[in-house]
Amino acid sequence: MHVFDAELEQLAHEIVRYSLDRIRMTPPLDGPTELGLLDGAPATVTPAGIGGSTALREFDERFSRACISVDHPGYLSFVPGAPSMASVMFDLVVGASSVYGGSWLEGAGAIHLENETLRWIADIAGFGPGAGGVFVSGGTAGNLSALAAARWRHRDRHGDRGRAVFLASAEAHSSVASAARIMDAEVVTVPADDDRRLTGSAVESVVAALDPAVRERVVAVVATSGTTNLGVIDDLDGLATVAETHGWWFHVDGAYGAAALAAPELRADFAGLERADSFIVDPHKWLFAPFDCCALIYADPDLARRAHTQSAGYLDVLTDSGEWNPSDYAHHLSRRARGLPLWFSLATHGTDAYAEAVRAGVAHARTAAELIDGHDRWDLVWGPRLSIVLFERPGWDADQHQAWSDALTAAGLGLVVPTKFEGRSVLRFCVINPLSDGDVLRRILDFEVPG
């Protein structure tokens, strides 16, 4: 099974050719329009196997066409991805190399390069020289790991006072509430201001009204630097001051928006982020890396190490080494060296190219807002904020917005799904891909449901 014979060598060439073809082409916008391909699909996992070439053909001709490529220029929903060719190609190398990315003992070279990449992210965020962290699978894992470290520090200082309490706004990502459920913690929701920002003064007001027994269980303030739905950056400086005053952990979820730090002229919008105890950013979103990759960075990694290090006889050789083991900085042990595709892309293109690519997303969002504002069928509702714009068709309800969205996808032009704003249905652009330019946006906005 493990012998690399002539048949496997031929299959390797086929897979590489297929991968290169996928990289070169504009990805198809398939998915919902191709779900019929799954009807009557043959079994592919069989006692005798169907052979690699057949399996690859089945994937290409049937199953891949019931998937949507998030790097299609018309994919403007949720938070898209646009991995660089360099990062995608190196993802093949990571898989082929069988590098274990959990410990320095087994993966020192890969971890060194990941740490160099994390250092660049920490630098553009203004973190000090002692900062460090780890690449985890996504923002949900990053937020959970950071908040687990926050609770550990609180209990180390004050003892176990009961269920931890996190303070966050209603605009916080759903993963914050998910982390609280997993940890059997509570989230106290703090009202955002008229600009949808969580502010330090609002946190102070809510905390002052809490029962003293609840107040002493507050562990952390969770801010967002680029909310998923609206692109809002919270009052990071004010929240940092409140957290420092009360001795709380200050965590910033920048899964989407903190990538804008790559463009130096945008960094002023994130003032206060450098005062956080931890923050995350997902390179598989706006830093042009493939799935799945979230950078989790701590101002004091030693606190995270003490919170997360696993102990067992078979791990003593690692935990007693004093080396940098990525398994010590999040709720994981086994991990692939998922930061390497980002490293390779940064090393290949340079950080200046990343700044230009981020600027393109911001510029295209501004173009989208201008096109909507001047369009005879659409109204601008919100934005642009970072690279997000909300719009609506006057007089349309949720069903009509959904019907337009479905028809757009069926036509292969784009994926633009509805969202909610102030309780009503609207449509939303999130522009990540530098190829999602004015021509793409104009074609989408000019689209009319046939008939």
- 3-state SS track over 86-121: HHHHHHHHHHHHCCECCCHHHHHHHHHHHHHHHHHH
Residue 3 is predicted with a pLDDT of 59
What is the mean pLDDT of the segment spanning 361-372? 98
Per-residue pLDDT band at 4 (split at 50, 70, 90): low
- The answer to whether residues 170 and 206 touch, using CB atoms and an 8 Å cutoff, is no
**Could you please report the per-residue DSSP string of 206-258?**
HHHTS-HHHHTTEEEEEEEBS-TTT--B--HHHHHHHHHHHT-EEEEE-TTGG
Could you give the maximum distance between any two Cα atoms of the chain, in Å? 72
Q: How deeply is 111 buried, as exposed, middle or buried, from its count of CB atoms within 10 A (0-12, 13-18, 19+)? A: buried
Residue 8 is predicted with a pLDDT of 86
The separation between CA 180 and the C-alpha centre of its own chain, rounded to angstroms, equals 19
- The answer to whether residues 392 and 381 touch, using CB atoms and an 8 Å cutoff, is yes
- Token couple for 320: 């007693």
Mean pLDDT computed over every residue of the chain: 95
Instruction: State the Cα–Cα distance between residues 133 and 302, nearest whole angstrom.
Output: 10
Per-residue pLDDT band at 25 (split at 50, 70, 90): confident
Per residue in 158-195, pLDDT (tens digit) is: 999 999 999 999 999 999 999 999 999 999 999 999 99
Instruction: State the Cα–Cα distance between residues 70 and 28, nearest whole angstrom.
Output: 10
Instruction: State the Cα–Cα distance between residues 133 and 449, nearest whole angstrom.
Output: 48
Residue 31 has pLDDT above 90, yes or no: no
Give the containing element (helix H, strand E) for 418. strand 418-421
Strand order in the sheet with 388-392: 379-385, 388-392, 424-430, 418-421
What is the mean pLDDT of the segment spanning 415-444? 98
Instruction: State the Cα–Cα distance between residues 154 and 243, nearest whole angstrom.
Output: 13
Q: Which residues contact 300 (CB under 8 A, 6 or more apart)?
A: 130, 131, 277
Q: What is the pTM of this model?
A: 0.96
Residue 1 has pLDDT above 90, yes or no: no
Amino acid in the structure at residue 412:
G
Q: How many CA atoms are closer than 13 Å to the CA of 80, on its beta-carbon side? A: 29
Residue 451 is predicted with a pLDDT of 76
Residue whose pair of structure tokens reads 């890396």 in the numeric block:
289
Residue count of the chain: 451
Strands 132-136 and 165-169 come out as unpaired
- The answer to whether residues 111 and 324 touch, using CB atoms and an 8 Å cutoff, is yes
Per residue in 274-316, pLDDT (tens digit) is: 999 999 999 999 999 999 999 999 999 999 999 999 999 999 8
Cis peptide before 282 (omega within 30 of 0): no
Cis peptide before 384 (omega within 30 of 0): yes
Residue 2 is predicted with a pLDDT of 57
Instruction: State the Cα–Cα distance between residues 122 and 112, nearest whole angstrom.
Output: 15
Share of the chain above pLDDT 90, in %: 88
Three-class DSSP category at 270: helix
Residue 290, sorted as left (phi over 0), alpha (psi -120 to 50) or beta, turns out to be beta
Per-residue pLDDT band at 21 (split at 50, 70, 90): confident
Q: How deeply is 312 buried, as exposed, middle or buried, from its count of CB atoms within 10 A (0-12, 13-18, 19+)? A: exposed
- Phi, then psi, of 129 in degrees rounded to 5: -65, -20
Amino acid in the structure at residue 35:
L
Residue 223 has pLDDT above 70, yes or no: yes
Per residue in 198-212, pLDDT (tens digit) is: 999 999 999 999 999
Give the containing element (helix H, strand E) for 380. strand 379-385
Residue 22 has pLDDT above 90, yes or no: no
- The answer to whether residues 330 and 301 touch, using CB atoms and an 8 Å cutoff, is no
